[in-house]
Structure 1
């Protein structure tokens, strides 16, 4: 049970300092926090505005708690995270701390479900979507397959690859017929061009853009 003297942000800061400088102290502090305040850890703790400070730090350093408790909780309740105002931040932090391609593959396959995928592209926080795309590119995890699925979802002329970027630029537009670009669409397109190697779909579509559309991306 938490007390009024329990401050998650302070403990999170101490954990991070210990994690970077003294593994022994990190493990002792982590064990003490978990045994005292989170004996019955569940996904609601990970979604809590204050407790999430602690668990985001635990994602950053290898431990039994992270690998055997936090990861399984996340995968068992992934639907509770990616659209949640706190959960999407936790999800993004998890992606950014991964160094295991098997886990990236597991996340991709979980999000490949049609309903989840559509909501991820059309409804999730834009920075979670961008991070998901960048991590798939970084780990060479179905990256081109991912972009082709995005194209099929947002492009009315699915076989016309030239429309990919123009449609992506309008991502989540309230009035796509009259709106050339959205902030969300521009951010995603910029992310595609930050890839180590720009994919063929993006390249082909880019070369068909008008000067006005290219100027929109640059801005």
Structure 2
């Protein structure tokens, strides 16, 4: 997506943070009257953020872009160095942003069984002690236990998201370009999806090669 629009963004020392609209059910829906965006810029990175409305849950995607092409590792170290610091760099203001963000899709398959066992949840996995028969209407007498707990997550940024976000009026006409923040994600960046009311991060990942189709 390549656009010039008003967005939520913060500009920190070394990076920027951009907020993007996110639909947990795969749908992007424009908020009434358009989607405000914000950008955050710092010496080493940049970020942008966009809201989706006043639902019971409020999900947003935040893109963390380092200023340096090889600065992602340093940026991640900075934003994870102290508890709560990540939340302090999230966008709180809107600015005019020239955004160039590639389409991307990230997926993850994970068997949570070993993690749950390590945390002490072993009984449901035991053939002898596990008893999950109460989960079924019919009891055939056979032992019922867990063999695997599978988790799969898919994150996709595409034209649908761009269309939903492109609600703000486009700037047209002659004369010099107005003051704006450039958010050009042509090098490795980090992103998170957060439920904003609770502050819970439900997904986090990196895009190492934005040019990869």
Normalised by the length of structure 1, the TM-score is 0.21
The structure with the greater share of residues assigned to strand is 2
Q: Which has the larger radius of gyration?
A: 2
